[in-house]
Chains A and B, each alone.
Chain A
Amino acid sequence: MSLEQYIFAAVNRFLFIHLTEEQVVVLHTAVNKKTMRNILETQLSSDITYLEPITGQPFKGIWLVKDNTLSLPEAKVLVWFHGTATQVQLTNS
């Protein structure tokens, strides 16, 4: 384990111990939103859409990366379920 990893874990443990679960979610949301803004500002490819919310469904979800071949029969999808503290809230923002 590197020193950087050790410090990262220690800081997070401190936060998890001293913040309420709601405060941790707010913190993660703020960090994630900042990261998302950076990603949106630096689109990597014109064939790909990033962070597209899914609407009109009984669940909330986003296409983190949406390839423009999604409608083709050979389209491949990775479905990812995050951990409890990683809240995205893009569909509400």
Chain B
Amino acid sequence: MFFPVMLDLYKKLQEIFYPISIFFLEYTLAPEGKYPTQLREAVQAYQYLLQDLNIDPANIIVGGDSAGGNLTLQLFRHINTPHPEIPIVIPASAKPSKCILSSPWLCMDHKAPSYISNAKYDLMTVTNLSRSASRWKGNISDDFTDPLKASYEGWSSILSPTMVLSGRLELFKDDIQEFCENLKKVRSRRRATG
């Protein structure tokens, strides 16, 4: 299921960015790897692309789906404000050029109306999401784990141009919509003052 989708994406990207390669991080899953293990691995992988392979950050797009979307935002936040438990510092000038969030998991409270209204359509359930979140981060909730709760004022400096994808029948729909509206508010305010 997943790889054919990725290969489809590859073919479409190739039409725009040819040539392009796709790097896939096999991050450690919870409970074996608890927060912020996955962010540490993502930072190491990004540093590998920059330093070992000399890839120009202007030519790097970072994206992810579901929990991978959350990890994408963690990586962008870390580049802006390094996570206290991760000593690897990536300069802000080396931020990836673009960001793709596909049905990102933005808040682990699961209280938005769409968690109820779309329960019969989504392949995930709130029970499973809550269990996964608990196994991953325990009771911790911060700007990295729950990006929807973070002050949205900061996103304009944290993110590169971002594409967000969401389905209208998915559990995350309302959280994603709120996140996008917050991003738009920041952008329009910046335009008004700048």
Interface of B, secondary structure class, is mixed
Given A32-B3, A35-B1, is A82 in contact with B121 using a C-beta cutoff of 8 Å?
no
Q: How large is the interface on A (under 10, 10 to 19, 20 to 34, 35 or more residues)?
A: 35 or more
- A interface footprint on B112-137 (CB within 8 Å = 1, 0 otherwise): 00000000011111011001100110
Known interface pairs A35-B3, A59-B45, A73-B56; A79-B132 also in contact (CB < 8 Å): no
For the complex, what is the distance from the CA of A75 to the CA of B149, rounded to whole Å?
36
Residues of chain B from 55 to 89 with CB closer than 8 A to chain A in the complex: 55-56, 59-69, 71-72
Closest CB in chain B relative to A20 CB, distance in Å: 10
Q: A64-B24, A67-B20, A87-B26 are in contact. Are A78 and B125 (CB under 8 A)?
A: no
The secondary-structure label for the interface of chain A is: mixed
Chain A, 49-93, CB within 8 A of any chain B CB: 54, 57-67, 69-71, 73-84, 86-91
In whole angstroms, what is the CA distance A64 to B62 when docked?
A: 14
Q: Is the pair A76, B20 in contact by a Cβ cutoff of 8 Å? A: yes
Contact of B150 with A by CB under 8 A: no
User: Is B49 engaged at the interface, CB distance under 8 Å to the other chain?
Assistant: yes
Residues on the B chain within 8 Å of A21, using CB: 128, 131-132, 135
**What residues of B have a CB within 8 angstroms of the CB of A62 in the complex?**
23-24, 26
Provided the pairs A75-B55, A80-B23, A89-B26 are in contact, do residues A59 and B121 lie with their beta carbons within 8 angstroms? no
Task: Let me know if A76 and B59 touch, CB within 8 A.
Answer: yes
Counting chain B residues whose Cβ lies within 8 A of the other chain, the interface size class is: 35 or more
- How far apart are A26's CB and chain B's nearest CB, in angstroms? 12
> Are the CB atoms of A82 and B64 closer together than 8 Å?
yes
Contact A39 B3 (CB under 8 A): yes
Assess whether A74 is in contact with B59, with CB atoms less than 8 Å apart. yes
**Is B13 an interface residue, CB under 8 A from the partner?**
yes
Chain B: minimal CB distance from A36 (Å) = 6
The answer to whether B21 touches A66, judged by C-beta atoms less than 8 angstroms apart, is yes
Are the CB atoms of A61 and B132 closer together than 8 Å? Answer: no
- Given A25-B29, A89-B26: A65 touches B7 (CB 8 Å cut-off): yes
Q: Sample 18 A-B pairs with CB under 8 A, ordered by A number.
A: A12-B123, A16-B123, A28-B2, A57-B44, A59-B48, A60-B28, A62-B24, A63-B22, A63-B23, A64-B6, A65-B10, A78-B20, A79-B49, A79-B63, A80-B65, A81-B68, A81-B69, A83-B68
Taking beta carbons and an 8 Å cutoff, which residues of A are in contact with B? 1, 6, 8-9, 12-13, 16-17, 21, 25, 28, 31-32, 35-36, 39, 47, 54, 57-67, 69-71, 73-84, 86-91
Q: Besides the contacts A8-B123, A54-B48, A64-B7, what 11 more A-B pairs have beta carbons closer than 8 Å?
A: A21-B131, A35-B4, A36-B3, A64-B22, A67-B19, A74-B56, A77-B20, A81-B67, A81-B68, A81-B71, A83-B66
